[in-house]
Structure 1
Amino acid sequence: MTSVFSTDALPVLVGSMPHADHRQAVDLIFAATPQIPIWPQLPKYPIEGMLRQFLPGMPGVTELDGKIFVDSQRADFDEQFLAFFEEYLLVDEGGAALEDSRFAMSPEEAGGFFVFLEEAEHRREQLTALKGQITGPITFCTGLVDQDGRAVFYNDQLRDAAVKLLAMKARWQTRMMAQVKERPLIFFDEPGLAGFGSSAFITITPADIAGCFSEVFAGVHREGGLAGVHVCANTEWSVIFDTAVDIVNFDAYSYFDKLLLYPQQLTTFFARGGILASGIVPTAAEQIREESAASLADKWFEQTRQLGRLGIDERTVFAQTLITPSCGTGTISEELAETVLRLTGEVSTLIRTKLG
């Protein structure tokens, strides 16, 4: 694992927000989480959806009747596929610049990233780290389909291209942020992993998942970043803990008891310096309204006591924790989203005041 720093329950957010203005979103982010800000993804813009935002550069991409898919039967697919891998190998081996390649994101598809970088440049002195995010390889490859409606995950050729695309885009993000602040954090968002173990994923093995993660994590580590995985529901956590992941971001508000079902993996993860990003701040409207910073901090301390019973002491948990929302806020109102941002910062402050 890449060496980690003491996170000391600092607040950090999850990518999506319901706002329509990138500058407004960036200002809100830096106000709530000045030490480890993120760049905002605004799903009000269709191009900033989970698949579309990271799809440019993939060979065979076709849009028909409002649907996007990979058409491996189009006449020029072989030519596109060959060009993709030639460029990938050139960039990977240092023969072409990553910044000028198909793997660099543009202001059109990631406007929030460029506003965020500009603001971060002005605030270097207050930064502990910068955080980016990208759709994870399992969610991406099971959500993206070919011309027959079959997930590209089940096509070895297309899955290989998709994973390499994500690895390079994650590497590009890491490199761009590292120019402002060393050791960026890149979270791979994996809502699709909530279905792992169900009939929909019956043919996907832990080895398949590990292989995908190994490749995308390597891209982040190559640029000096830390790689995280965010799952906003329950999953087979051992599959993630058994990878080279640096940060595990989970819904601590609703699923902490499920995480405790993996005591050996948890203790090993902390022992090797892993960071637990605790999604203790809920993002469901009714839960947001019924909680306060104090009640959520109390919930975190109770969970920390439960980790203590596994042999992980409070100081270790504190030093290797981030405080986050349980999920992104892109599907709730702006007012509630801003409440989530505020609560995330306030919960962190309460914890840090007591233990810092």
Structure 2
Amino acid sequence: MPIPGNLLTTAMASALSLDVPFWPQLPNYSYYEDMYVQAAEHFPGILLDVEKRTLRFSLEKFIAEVEETLARFDDPSYFDISETYSAVYHRFLALALADRPAIRGQLEGPISFGFNITDENDRPILFDDTVRPFMLEFMARRINVQLDRLRAVNANAFMFVDEPGLQFLFSALSGYGDIKAKGDMDEFFAMIDRPRGIHLCGNPDWDFLLGLDLDVLSMDLYTNREIFAAYGPSIRRFLDRGGVIVWGIVPTGFEAFAKEDIPSLTAQLEGVWEILGKKEIDRDFLLSRSMLSPATCCLVNPDRDKTVDRAFGVVKEMSLRLREKYRLA
């Protein structure tokens, strides 16, 4: 398993200073850098207006373009992220990162993409039985192509599938229940090369999420620690299958960050580990399958990027202190 544990650090925004670096998505720099826009590149039927910063879908346009897209399904370059859609990604690929424990990439997942991209009738394309199966395979190919590019830079590369929409899966909209969602997500992950995982900042159905065939789960523990700690059996099964948990414990929002310090955040994190220990999850094994990160990918604060930079520093310092305390290599 190339995904490291032992409380090494990674995150969801932008950093080369952490143990496992990644390329950032910077929508404030360009609308092309928006995570939904990046995922939409070459997707048939997309109506993108960069100046108005809108992203929509036309079924008529989809029907007209899908045959051309299918003809390019065996062309990896067609599914990669172009320099227009992310200059940062291509700059990242040019860096010397072979000596890092791992590196990571990301792409928006099909549930969130399908919820947020709507057709002429404001209906999410996730509910279109014609578009949805195509979308699953399209996104899987895009993830696999990016993973191959990253592996050329570092053999231990892995991918996050960003899925904020999973927290709305069973409550916000009707017509797409848990049985259908489970089948689609199982099909989707079966098409994705390992190692692969999910990142989200919200509060989904954790039994559902931990039951998917993931190698790594990145989540906002700071906000959801009491809820997440209640899912001991599912967490244990996930770890026993070889899963890695990225504990997002350091808040990046200005107000939340100002209320905390390293001792308070450490106490919150270790409190969750203590609860899980009482549910027969061995602490040493848990730590061997754990990483640390900021809690969320916060892009806007009153002090611009200062709080985020400080949060990254806290993640690094927490990692150093905890690794020393628990004698982790």
Question: What is the CA–CA distance in structure 2 between the aligned matches of 1:354 and 1:267, rounded to whole Å?
Answer: 23
> Which residue is 1:273 aligned to?
242
The reply to whether residue 84 of structure 1 matches residue 69 of structure 2 is yes
Contact kept? 2:203, 2:224, Cα under 8 Å: yes
The reply to whether residue 124 of structure 1 matches residue 108 of structure 2 is no
> Which residue is 2:32 aligned to?
47
> Which residue is 2:16 aligned to?
30
> Which residue is 1:347 aligned to?
318
> Which residue is 2:119 aligned to?
146
Contact kept? 1:167, 1:215, Cα under 8 Å: no
Of the candidates 211, 225, 230, which is equivalent to residue 256 of structure 1?
A: 225
- Two-structure CA RMSD over aligned residues (Å): 1.9
Of the candidates 69, 76, 87, which is equivalent to residue 56 of structure 2?
A: 69
CA distance 1:278–1:312, change in 2 (3 Å): same
Question: What is the CA–CA distance in structure 2 between the aligned matches of 1:128 and 1:321, rounded to whole Å?
Answer: 14
CA distance 1:4–1:308, change in 2 (3 Å): farther
Deviation, 1:6, is 4.5
SS of 1:51's partner is helix
Deviation, 1:237, is 0.9
Residue identity in the other structure for 1:329? C
Question: What is the CA–CA distance in structure 2 between the aligned matches of 1:216 and 1:182, rounded to whole Å?
Answer: 23
Of the candidates 152, 176, 180, which is equivalent to residue 153 of structure 2?
A: 180
The reply to whether residue 12 of structure 1 matches residue 2 of structure 2 is no
> Which residue is 2:44 aligned to?
59
SS of 2:274's partner is helix
Deviates more, 1:308-317 or 1:286-295: 286-295
Deviation, 1:152, is 0.2
> Which residue is 1:18 aligned to?
none
> Which residue is 2:178 aligned to?
206
Deviation, 1:5, is 4.7
Structure 2: give runs of 5+ residues left out of the alignment.
none
The reply to whether residue 292 of structure 1 matches residue 261 of structure 2 is yes
TM-score for the superposition, normalised by structure 2? 0.92
Residue identity in the other structure for 1:297? T
Question: What is the CA–CA distance in structure 2 between the aligned matches of 1:212 and 1:322, rounded to whole Å?
Answer: 28
Q: Which has the higher contact order (CA 8 A, sep 6+)?
A: 1
Question: What is the CA–CA distance in structure 1 between the aligned matches of 2:44 and 2:237, rounded to whole Å?
Answer: 40
Question: What is the CA–CA distance in structure 2 between the aligned matches of 1:202 and 1:129, rounded to whole Å?
Answer: 39
SS of 2:79's partner is coil
Deviates more, 1:139-148 or 1:291-300: 291-300
The reply to whether residue 163 of structure 1 matches residue 149 of structure 2 is no
CA distance 1:83–1:282, change in 2 (3 Å): same
CA distance 1:151–1:257, change in 2 (3 Å): same
Deviation, 1:106, is 0.8
> Which residue is 1:196 aligned to?
169
SS of 2:94's partner is helix
CA distance 1:73–1:6, change in 2 (3 Å): closer
Deviation, 1:103, is 0.6
Contact kept? 1:58, 1:161, Cα under 8 Å: no
Of the candidates 177, 182, 195, which is equivalent to residue 226 of structure 1?
A: 195
Deviation, 1:327, is 1.2
Residue identity in the other structure for 2:213? A
Contact kept? 1:50, 1:135, Cα under 8 Å: yes
SS of 1:73's partner is helix
SS of 1:68's partner is strand
Question: What is the CA–CA distance in structure 2 between the aligned matches of 1:340 and 1:233, rounded to whole Å?
Answer: 19
CA distance 1:58–1:206, change in 2 (3 Å): same
State percent identity of aligned pairs: 23
SS of 1:273's partner is coil
- CA shift digits 1:99-141 (9 cap, x unpaired): x3x211111111211122222xx2422x111111111211100
Deviation, 1:218, is 3.5
> Which residue is 1:337 aligned to?
308
Deviates more, 1:51-60 or 1:200-209: 200-209
CA distance 1:4–1:305, change in 2 (3 Å): farther
Residue identity in the other structure for 1:218? A
Deviates more, 1:58-67 or 1:326-335: 58-67
Deviation, 1:4, is 5.4
Question: What is the CA–CA distance in structure 2 between the aligned matches of 1:50 and 1:30, rounded to whole Å?
Answer: 20
Contact kept? 1:131, 1:185, Cα under 8 Å: yes
Question: What is the CA–CA distance in structure 2 between the aligned matches of 1:156 and 1:80, rounded to whole Å?
Answer: 17
